[in-house]
Amino acid sequence: MTIELHRGGDRMKTRISWLDSKHSFSFGEHYDPDNTHHGLLLVNNEDVVLPGEGFDTHPHRDMEIVTWVLGGSLVHQDSLGHSGVIYPGLAQRMSAGTGILHSEKNDSWRLDGKLPEHDEPVHFVQMWVVPDEPGVDPGYQQLEIDDELARGDLVTVASGLPRYRDRTAIAINSSHAAMHVARMPADSPGVTLPDAPYLHVFVARGEIDMEGLGTLSQGDAVRLTRSGGQRLRPHGDAEVLVWEMHARLGGQ
């Protein structure tokens, strides 16, 4: 069993006029050969995009991409004709497969050219995991799960693991990976991590106490190998994203 703590302040950063992005793993021009992935998770980017701005149309291929919005809202459009507004409590994934083009814009930027109804940044985490096989058909799925999150439990948001087939919100093309979210109020008793060969715990909002490790703040991440069963308890309202993985890049 190994447990690695990665503090939020130590992440690689991309900052330009409209974007504040923090990278848990190597991304773009930020490359560290010792920090490329954990299990099947290659990207865990925390982004803040200013009103009226966003990522113009760009390509992806052979990747399962899950986007989780923490504040504000994000407009998605892709080359298959899918479009939607992603907001807190909405599960969303895009399967890039054989190839797809898409754009992501702060919802203050209106598709119809009308004046925005609000003027605030959008804050979200985007995560990429490797699919089982390359060359699948591209796809898109989203689902509202705000009611399930309100219970404060660990909710399975995106999964390809057979054990979660009947209780995952959205499906991904990876039979060895699942993403869970716990939105815990201040009085929550906390949640327990699942047992798995690889776990990635990311504090998306607030502050928590992790059994055996201590206090974790927003932006902190823990990478666990051959572990599980630890209790997470919030210090005030908190939100945690947990990837459970039963394989790693390059094999079991």
Give pLDDT, residue 130: 95
CB 239 within 8 A of CB 201: no
Fold of 2-245: Jelly Rolls (2.60.120)
pLDDT tens-place string over residues 56-67: 999 999 999 999
DSSP code for 27: B
CB 164 within 8 A of CB 177: no
Q: Please calculate the CA angle 151-154-155 and round it to the nearest 5 degrees.
A: 80
pLDDT tens-place string over residues 55-107: 999 999 999 999 999 999 999 999 988 888 899 999 999 999 999 999 999 97
Distance CA 99, CA 61 (A): 4
Distance CA 145, CA 66 (A): 14
